Amino acid sequence: MSQISITLLRLGFLVLLWALVLAAIGVLRSDLYGTRVITRGRGRNARKPPGTRAEKVAAPSRSATGVRTGAISTLEPTAAHLAVTAGPLKGTTIPLGSAPVLVGRAPTCTLVIEDDYCSSRHCRIYLDGDRWLVEDLGSTNGTFLGNRRVDDPVPLNPGEKIRIGATSLELRN
Amino acid sequence: MATVSELRVHGGRRAELVLLGLAICLAILARALVDYHADYLVLSRLGVFAVGALALAGAAHLVVRIYAPSADPVLLPAVFALNGVGLAILRRIDYAYAARGRETDFGGTQTVWTVVGVALFVAVLLLLRDHRMLRRFTYTAGIVGIIAYMLPVVPGLGVEINGAQIWISLFGRSMQPGEFAKIALVVFFAGYLVSNRDTLALAGPKVLGMRFPRPRDMGPLLVVTLSALVIMVAQTDLGAALLFFGLFVGLLYVATERISWVVLGLGMFAVAVVAASTIFSHVAARYDAWLNALDPEVYSSGRSEQLVRGLFGMASGGLFGTGLGEGRPDLVPFAESDFIIASLGEELGLTGVMAILTLYLIIVQRAMRTAIGVRDGFGKLMASGLGFAIAIQVFIVVGGVTRVIPLTGLTTPFLAYGGSSMIANWIVIALIMRISDQARRPAMETP
Using pLDDT thresholds of 50, 70 and 90, give the confidence band for residue B119.
Answer: very high
Provide the shortest C-alpha distance from residue A147 to chain B (in Å). Answer: 25
Residue A171 confidence (pLDDT): 85
The overall average pLDDT reported for chain A is 74
Which of A33-37, B230-234, B337-341 shows the lowest per-residue confidence on average (mean pLDDT)? A33-37
Enumerate residues 6+ apart whose C-beta is below 8 A from A65.
A172, A173
Work out the angle at residue B148's Cα, subtended by the Cα atoms of residues B147 and B149, and round it to the nearest 5 degrees.
Answer: 90
Query: What does each C-alpha distance from B48 to B44, B55, B76, B412 come to in angstroms?
Result: 6, 10, 22, 27
Considering only CB atoms, B377 lies closest to which of A68, A74, A114, namely A114
Residues in A touching B10 (Cβ below 8 Å): 30
Residues of chain A with pLDDT > 90: what percent? 8
Find which of A1, A9, A20, A172 to mutate to test the B interface (most B CBs within 10 Å of its CB).
A20
A60 pLDDT higher than 50: no
Burial zone of B447 (CB within 10 Å; 0-12 exposed, 13-18 middle, 19+ buried): exposed
- Cβ contact A24–B26 (<8 Å): no
- Cβ contact A95–B442 (<8 Å): yes
Is residue B154 classed as helix, strand or coil in its secondary structure?
coil
Is residue B5 classed as helix, strand or coil in its secondary structure?
strand
Q: In what order do the strands lie in the sheet with A93-95?
A: A93-95, A81-86, A167-172, A161-164, A144-145, A148-149
**Using CA atoms, how far apart are residues B180 and B263, in angstroms rounded to an integer?**
28
Residues in A touching B362 (Cβ below 8 Å): 21, 24-25, 28
Using pLDDT thresholds of 50, 70 and 90, give the confidence band for residue B379.
Answer: very high
Which of B38-42, B220-224, B315-319, B358-362 shows the lowest per-residue confidence on average (mean pLDDT)? B220-224
pLDDT tens column, B240-280 = 778 888 888 898 888 888 888 788 888 888 887 788 788 87
The overall average pLDDT reported for chain B is 85
Range with top average pLDDT, B53-57, B142-146, B153-157, B273-277: B53-57
Provide the shortest C-alpha distance from residue B16 to chain A (in Å). Answer: 9
**Bigger pLDDT: A53 vs A5:** A5
DSSP assignment of B337-397, as one string?
A: TTTHHHHHHHHHHHHHHHHHHHHHHHHHHHHHHHHHH-SSHHHHHHHHHHHHHHHHHHHHH
Q: Measured between CB atoms, does A165 come within 8 Å of chain B?
A: no
- Cβ contact B3–A114 (<8 Å): no
Provide the shortest C-alpha distance from residue A142 to chain B (in Å). Answer: 21
- What does residue A108 show for φ and ψ, rounded to 5 degrees? -85, -5
Burial zone of B315 (CB within 10 Å; 0-12 exposed, 13-18 middle, 19+ buried): exposed
Provide the shortest C-alpha distance from residue A145 to chain B (in Å). Answer: 23
Q: In what order do the strands lie in the sheet with B164-170?
A: B158-161, B164-170, B173-175
- Kindly tell me the sign of the dihedral angle through the C-alpha atoms of B278, B282, B283, B284: positive
**Using CA atoms, how far apart are residues B384 and B364, in angstroms rounded to an integer?**
9
**Using CA atoms, how far apart are residues B301 and B272, in angstroms rounded to an integer?**
27
- What does residue B131 show for φ and ψ, rounded to 5 degrees? -65, -20
- Cβ contact B26–A16 (<8 Å): yes
Residue B8 confidence (pLDDT): 56
Q: Which residues are registered as beta bridge partners of A36?
A: B5
pLDDT tens column, A131-152 = 888 888 888 888 998 888 888 8
**Bigger pLDDT: B122 vs B152:** B122
Q: In A, residues 32-51, which contact B (CB 8 Å cutoff)?
A: 33-40
Enumerate residues 6+ apart whose C-beta is below 8 A from A50.
none
**Using CA atoms, how far apart are residues B434 and B413, in angstroms rounded to an integer?**
19
Considering only CB atoms, B29 lies closest to which of A13, A36, A88, namely A13
- Cβ contact B2–A40 (<8 Å): yes
Give the orientation angle of helix B177-202 with respect to helix B419-440, to 10 degrees: 40
Q: Which stretches of B216-293 are DSSP H helices?
A: 219-235, 238-256, 259-279, 281-291
Give the orientation angle of helix B340-373 with respect to helix B75-99, to 10 degrees: 170
State which H helix or E strand residue A111 sits in.
Answer: strand A111-112
Of A18, A7, A24, A13, nearest to B89 by C-alpha is A13
Using pLDDT thresholds of 50, 70 and 90, give the confidence band for residue A67.
Answer: very low
Considering only CB atoms, B29 lies closest to which of A16, A60, A71, namely A16
pLDDT tens column, B401-436 = 999 988 887 889 999 998 899 999 999 999 999 999
Which of A69-78, A139-148, B112-121, B419-428 shows the lowest per-residue confidence on average (mean pLDDT)? A69-78
Residues in A touching B132 (Cβ below 8 Å): 107-108, 112
**Bigger pLDDT: A99 vs B331:** B331
Q: How many CA atoms lie within 13 A of B253 on its CB side?
A: 18
Size of interface A-B (CB pairs under 8 A): 161
Find which of B1, B6, B326 to mutate to test the A interface (most A CBs within 10 Å of its CB).
B6
Residue A50 confidence (pLDDT): 41
**Using CA atoms, how far apart are residues A128 and A154, in angstroms rounded to an integer?**
11
Average of per-residue pLDDT across B227-232:
69
Residues of chain B with pLDDT > 70: what percent? 88
Widest distance between CA atoms in chain A: 83
pLDDT tens column, B381-400 = 999 999 999 999 999 999 99
Q: Measured between CB atoms, does A97 come within 8 Å of chain B?
A: yes
Considering only CB atoms, A31 lies closest to which of B132, B323, B369, namely B369
Of B220, B200, B257, nearest to A88 by C-alpha is B257
Is residue A39 classed as helix, strand or coil in its secondary structure?
strand
Q: What is the pTM of this model?
A: 0.77
B112 pLDDT higher than 90: yes
**Using CA atoms, how far apart are residues B398 and B392, in angstroms rounded to an integer?**
10
- Cβ contact A24–B359 (<8 Å): yes
Enumerate residues 6+ apart whose C-beta is below 8 A from A14.
B320, B321, B348, B349, B351, B352, B355
